[in-house]
Amino acid sequence: MPSAEEVRLLAMPDDAYMNDEQLAFFRRRLLDEKARIEEHLGEVRAAMASHDRGSDALDQAAFEEELRLQLRQADRETRLLTNIEAALRRIEEDDYGYCEETGEPIGLPRLLLRPTARLCLEAKERQERREHHYRKARGEN
């Protein structure tokens, strides 16, 4: 369910695309997501540092499995942080919201779902088809 602010942004005319209000909205959203991820990564680091290694083998195995899952999540979040930083740079450089491949607007609905998007939907679909074709040609699934 879109927020009232999202509804207002979506109702703006096409010629208002990436106006100051829209850019401020996405800057806030990206900064909020960045802060949330950085906080979570700090919690993961703290949990790793505070773990008592003197526990029994079963407890240690459970901790290591949980740690493995958290490290996988932290890796994804670290990559997302890089994408967030890149999106914030694009906002500062007045490139945000435009497809890196075609220069066309990415569109508010897509950016609301994925604020770090660099490609419009059509360019992203072409990229995915190329990647699928490449994997298929290499014999991967």
Average confidence (pLDDT) over 91-117: 96
Average confidence (pLDDT) over 100-120: 96
> Which residue has 């996405």 as its token pair?
26
As a whole number of angstroms, the distance between CA 84 and CA 34 comes to 7
* 23 or 56, greater pLDDT: 23
CA nearest to 38, candidates 92, 78, 88: 78
Average confidence (pLDDT) over 24-52: 89
Task: Report how far apart, in Å, the C-alpha atoms of 104 and of each of 57, 95, 119, 122 are.
Answer: 57, 11, 9, 10
53 pLDDT more than 70: no
35 pLDDT more than 80: yes
Q: Domain map of the chain by residue range?
A: 4-137
* 136 or 12, greater pLDDT: 12
Confirm if 95 and 20 have CB atoms less than 8 A apart: no
pLDDT band, residue 66 (cuts 50/70/90):
confident
As a whole number of angstroms, the distance between CA 11 and CA 8 comes to 5
Evaluate if pTM is beyond 0.85: no
- The pLDDT, as a whole number, for residue 52 is 65
Tell me which CATH code domain 4-137 carries. Answer: 1.20.120.910
